[in-house]
Amino acid sequence: PPEEHSSRAYLRIGVKDQPGVLARIASALGDAGVSIASVIQFDPEVTGGDQGTAELVLTTHRAPGAALQSALDEIRQMDAVLEIGNVRPMEG
């Protein structure tokens, strides 16, 4: 099962464009022991999305799958998170 493996991850998350959303997501990842390697935020003009939304693309450092899953469970519950579009393991 994925939760038993350790890997880097690619995450694409649709959010409401509000102050503090990225900080809350970073906190959930950090609290679970998942370190962020990179973050890119796209606004609706770039992605063709709705005004008032943004798309976050994050990559993580290597972390246990169970830790990532725990963080994602918390992130999904956030009122500013519209969807977790992609979660993909990365080699390397």
Closest CA to 10 of 87, 76, 70: 87
| pLDDT tens, residue by residue, 6-35 | 999 999 999 999 999 999 999 999 999 999
Entry pTM:
0.89
Task: Please tell me the predicted confidence (pLDDT) of residue 91.
Answer: 80
| pLDDT tens, residue by residue, 38-83 | 999 987 666 666 778 999 999 999 999 999 999 999 999 999 999 9
Task: Please tell me the predicted confidence (pLDDT) of residue 48.
Answer: 65
55: enclosing H helix or E strand = strand 53-60
The Cα–Cα gap between 35 and 46 comes to 27
